[in-house]
Amino acid sequence: MILTDTHTHLYSEAFEEDRDTMIQRALDLNIKRFFIPAIDSTYVASMYALEEAYPEHVFLMAGLHPTHVKENYREELDLIRKQLETRKFVAIGEIGIDLYWDKTFLKEQQEAFREQIRIAKSYDLPIVIHCRDAFEEVFDILESEKDAKLRGIFHCFTGNEEQAHRAISYNMLLGIGGVVTFKNGKIDQFLGNIDTKHIVLETDSPYLAPAPFRGKRNETAYLTYVLDKLAGIYQLTPEELAAITTENSRLVFGV
Gap between the Cα atoms of 82 and 121, Å rounded: 16
171, 147 in Cβ contact below 8 A? Answer: no
Does residue 12 have a pLDDT over 90? yes
Q: At what angle do helices 238-253 and 223-234 cross, to 10 degrees?
A: 110
- 101-138 tens-digit pLDDT: 889 999 999 999 999 999 999 999 999 999 999 999 99
Work out the number of other CB atoms within 10 angstroms of the CB of residue 103: 13
Q: Where are the domains of the chain?
A: 3-253
Mean pLDDT for all residues in the chain: 97
Does residue 77 have a pLDDT over 90? yes
User: Facing residues of 25 across strands?
Assistant: none
pLDDT > 70: percent of the chain: 100
Question: Model confidence at 48, in pLDDT bands (50, 70, 90)?
Answer: very high
Gap between the Cα atoms of 199 and 146, Å rounded: 20
Gap between the Cα atoms of 159 and 164, Å rounded: 6
208 Cβ neighbours under 8 A, 6+ residues apart: 156, 177, 178, 179, 218
* Per-residue confidence (pLDDT) for residue 38, from 0 to 100: 98
3-state secondary structure of 16: coil
How far, rounded to the nearest angstrom, does the alpha carbon of residue 142 sit from its chain's CA centroid? 17
CATH architecture group of domain 3-253: Alpha-Beta Barrel (3.20)
Question: Model confidence at 184, in pLDDT bands (50, 70, 90)?
Answer: confident
Gap between the Cα atoms of 137 and 229, Å rounded: 30
